[in-house]
Amino acid sequence: ARRLGRSRRIVSAKIPIGINGKRIKERDRTLIHNSTARKSERLFNVLPQSVRNITETTTETFKRHLDKWLSSIPDTPKIDGYGANVAAETNSIFHQTRYCIVR
């Protein structure tokens, strides 16, 4: 049985401007922001609550729900100027989720 728990989100700490009185270089702040862990946090938080909060289920059931949601996201990359009608900034799930097809 699929059970929905309370709303789960990953809350990431803000990237500090400085540590121990030393200022962190912008390059290092960018590396932290673009790290795999931070990107994973942002992608997890983009998942709809109905997928994100599934508990006590098999991996296959979770994957089925995830696949159903992913099929609603448009796959419309911009290619060399041919993306004039593409609404999203990039083809990233993070940007494309704003244009999900409601089923």
**Does residue 67 surpass a pLDDT of 90?**
yes
pLDDT (tens digit, 9 = 90+) per residue, 73-96? 887 777 776 656 777 777 788 878
Mean pLDDT of 24-35: 86
In a domain, 12, yes or no: yes
pLDDT range class, residue 59, cuts 50, 70, 90: very high
Joined tokens for residue 5: 């728990």
Would you give the distance in Å from CA 9 to the centre of its chain?
11
Q: What is the pLDDT of residue 23?
A: 83
β-pairing, 3-4 vs 54-55, is antiparallel
d(CA 99, CA 103): 12
- Domains of the chain: total: 1
Q: What is the pLDDT of residue 103?
A: 53
Q: Mean pLDDT score of the chain, rounded to an integer?
A: 79
In a domain, 34, yes or no: yes
In a domain, 92, yes or no: no
d(CA 84, CA 19): 44
In a domain, 77, yes or no: no
Q: Following DSSP, what letter does each residue of 16-55 receive, concatenated? A: PSEETTEEPPHHHHHHHHTSHHHHHHHHHHHS-HHHHTEE
In a domain, 9, yes or no: yes
Q: What is the pLDDT of residue 63?
A: 94
Domain assignment of residue 24, given as a range = 1-55
Q: What is the pLDDT of residue 5?
A: 54
In a domain, 43, yes or no: yes
Q: Which of 9-23, 36-50, 56-70 has the lowest mean pLDDT?
A: 9-23
